[in-house]
Chain A
Amino acid sequence: MTMTTLMTPATVSTVPGLAVPAYTDPAPTPLRETKTLTMGKAINEGLRQAMLDDPRVVLLGEDIGALGGVFRVTSDLLAQFGARRVIDTPLAESAIIGTAVGLAYRGYRPVCEIQFDGFIFPGFDQIVSQVAKFHYRTQGAVRMPITIRVPFGGGIGAAEHHSESPEAYFTHTSGLRVIAVSNAQDAYSLIRQAIASDDPVLYFEPKRRYHVKGEVVPELGTPMDQAVIVRPGTDVTLLAYGALVSTARDAALAALDEGVSIEVIDLRSLSPVDYAVVEASVQKTGRLVVTHEAAQSGGLGGEIIATVTERCFSYLEAAPVRVTGFDVPYPPAKLESHHLPDLDRILDGVDRVMGRR
């Protein structure tokens, strides 16, 4: 009996291949002048500009094509750049990251969208064991200019796995750069910087700020590894990133009524931390409060406080304070207001560092 040597699939499914969907509208004009945009749209414009700047930039993710992503951040990019560069992937996070590694090996600059913070863990091994280590492993021969976009944080009343803050897993991983944006301008500028970076970047987008508008100048702006003082002050240094920057500014305004001057710093880069800006501020104020939505134990706040204490001990007037999410799994929506730091809890932390309670 002769056997078929090549075992062929029983049915060969229709392959989407590289077909480009019908393209009707003229290509949207990239951002050329200052405009008021939502944060989500600002990222979209930043992605568009990065793709125009460099033909090696490709996007990979679930539902990023015709739908434009579940948050519409990649809207219209498929129509403009085609399916070769905007790739709707099968539902497999490890493969989204792992194929990005292979594309980077070939000189591409992949931008991966992880649909929600809590969905990143199936891709965790490829991020930690491969993306982060390749440049070190190969003594600089192989670069991983991969950007991994992650909508993160809570406050949107979502189901489980849709409100998490997993940034500390990545700040603990050498070889990765980690940034979190807080406003439309940074969202635009930093996505372009992240994509242009020759190091892999985790780019965290605070999803409850997607629809908040801000003025966007089409420039690269402040380098992404720099922290920015968003409100100067003299009594307390308050560090925040992502969605909590806005809450921290509100807290600073409220504290003025009680005669406390808070310096609010938007950290922007979570790895590396811009200690030059942080230390200078703490040396001025003598008091430090760090706030984040992520759980306290093993979180970024503890690391920053430890470092500042090592370097600025003699400047400190009081023990630094953390205002963070509790050490609990992200709670159900009806409980999240108790978990997330808000204006009052930040002010409570300020009171503690001021010795007022």
Chain B
Amino acid sequence: MIDSSLQPVQLLSLDGERMPRPDFDSWVEDLDGAALLALYRDMVVVRRLDTEATALQRQGELGLWPPLLGQEAAQVGSARALRSDDFAFPSYRENAVAYCRGVKLTDIVKVWRGNAQSGWDPYTVNLATPAIIIGAQTLHATGWALGAQRDEVDSVAIAYFGDGATSEGDVNEAMVFAASFQAPVVFFCQNNHWAISEPVGVQAHRNIADRAPGFGIPSLRVDGNDVIAVLAATRIALDRARTGGGPTFVEAVTYRMGPHTTADDPTRYRDPAELAAWKTRDPLLRLHRLLTSLGEITPEVEEATAALADAAAVELRAGCIGMPDPEPLSVFDHVYVTPNATLERQRTDYAGYLTSFGGAEQSGAEQNGKA
């Protein structure tokens, strides 16, 4: 449950009512019905993609999948606040961020199918390859921000990480560096309450947002299931960074409604009542209520949104299943930029070994299939 002395900023009630807050409202004034509907559409699509990816894992098409169920508002709201020249450094669960940055759907699951260690070229979408080492990417974001500062551009780095990562040395070191050099970086923490089986109380004895001011970094604590509040908070943080204000820490209080990954079993450690309580805070539900009250939701809109989500799921599935296996000898590719004699020798030896099974005319891929 959200147990806080400082209640997270909320701009959208559970009933879907827009709650006025003078200090935040000006940041989301532009959100008309169409813009809100666009955010809703994003959230519906990413939830559908998430469901499809989980199904693909269950069917043996993906090795693993880290569901984002429940965190749609935190991810969509923050990602939609970014400019294209900003650079995001995600963890492995930010698949909605990847979607918003324009990563091809098939590329989102490439890593989880085991075809590559990175699904996309980071420079094409200004989204780093997801970090699996917890918290490591916060330093990369800070370093990138130091570069932007030196280049005298107003692009901003944003680091995504979870409540568990805040215990890592790297996250704390990143905040020290960012504060010392006033780096244009946003620390975006999705407190989803669980680090696999460890509740947030194991990581933090106080609100996570309370920590940042000790580093000299202002912080915001927002309802992470309120897409409007998340968008506003991220815009505030980005604006501070862009205008020389330095780093900002945003704690988006949300909830991981699914397992840590498809290999996890939350029934072993989580009270079902807690999940039930968070279901009432579902990020899609309350935005749907607002849109309904605004008259934006019509049967046609519902139908079109569902069709869009289904089409995305079909594309994801087809792309996933149709993905060709990598060539065996590509295992040696890109270890170094400069040719490396020791490695080239291993490549040549292994190519010879593969050829020894089936004659020179047979390709390595066919060999692999037979093995």
Contacts and interface: CB of A to CB of B under 8 A. Distances in A.
Interface stretch (A71-79, A128-136, A237-245): A128-136
A98 B136 contact: yes
Given A15-B180, A272-B343, A95 B170 contact: yes
Given A99-B177, A135-B336, A199-B338, A106 B151 contact: yes
Interface string A67-87: 000000000000000001001
A139 B334 CA distance: 6
Interface stretch (A3-11, A27-35, A148-156, A287-295): A3-11
B342 A272 contact: yes
Given A15-B182, A126-B139, A135 B334 contact: yes
Interface string B137-155: 0111111111111110000
Contacts, number: 192
Interface residues of A, number: 62
A249 interface: no
B11 to A, nearest CB: 11
Given A8-B218, A9-B213, A99-B143, A15 B337 contact: no
A16 B180 contact: yes
A6 B220 contact: yes
A331 interface: no
B157 A102 contact: yes
A107 interface: yes
A125 B176 contact: no
Contacts of A174: 335, 343
Given A8-B213, A98-B143, A129-B136, A137 B340 contact: no
Contacts of A6: 23, 218-220, 236
A107 B129 CA distance: 16
Nearest to A145: B337
Contacts of B212: 7
Report the contact-size class of chain B (Cβ under 8 Å from the partner): 35 or more
A77 B53 CA distance: 53
B209 to A, nearest CB: 7
A46 interface: no
B143 A102 contact: yes
Contacts of A5: 9, 21, 23-24, 220
A6 B235 CA distance: 13
Contact of B341 (A101, A142, A272): A272
A119 B237 CA distance: 35
A136 B144 contact: no
B181 interface: yes
Contact of B139 (A87, A98, A134): A98
Nearest to A13: B216
Contacts of B179: 13, 15
Contact of A101 (B118, B139, B218, B333): B139
Interface stretch (B56-64, B120-128, B303-311, B314-322): B120-128
Q: Which of A90, A110, A139 has the most CB of B within 10 A?
A: A139
A129 B133 contact: yes
Given A6-B218, A12-B216, A89-B177, A140 B334 contact: yes
B143 A9 contact: no
Nearest to A223: B338
Nearest to B149: A18
A198 B338 CA distance: 7
Contacts of A104: 143
14 contacts: A6-B219, A89-B177, A90-B176, A94-B170, A95-B170, A95-B174, A97-B139, A98-B170, A105-B144, A108-B150, A137-B117, A142-B123, A175-B336, A198-B337
Interface of A: 3, 5-10, 12-13, 15-18, 58, 84, 87, 89-90, 92, 94-95, 97-108, 110, 122, 125-126, 129-130, 133-143, 174-175, 177, 197-199, 225, 272-276
> Which 9 pairs, one residue from A and one from B, show the smallest C-beta to C-beta distance?
A102-B143, A98-B139, A99-B143, A106-B147, A95-B173, A102-B144, A198-B337, A137-B117, A102-B140
Given A99-B140, A105-B87, A198-B338, 6 more contacts: A3-B6, A98-B140, A98-B173, A102-B141, A105-B147, A274-B341
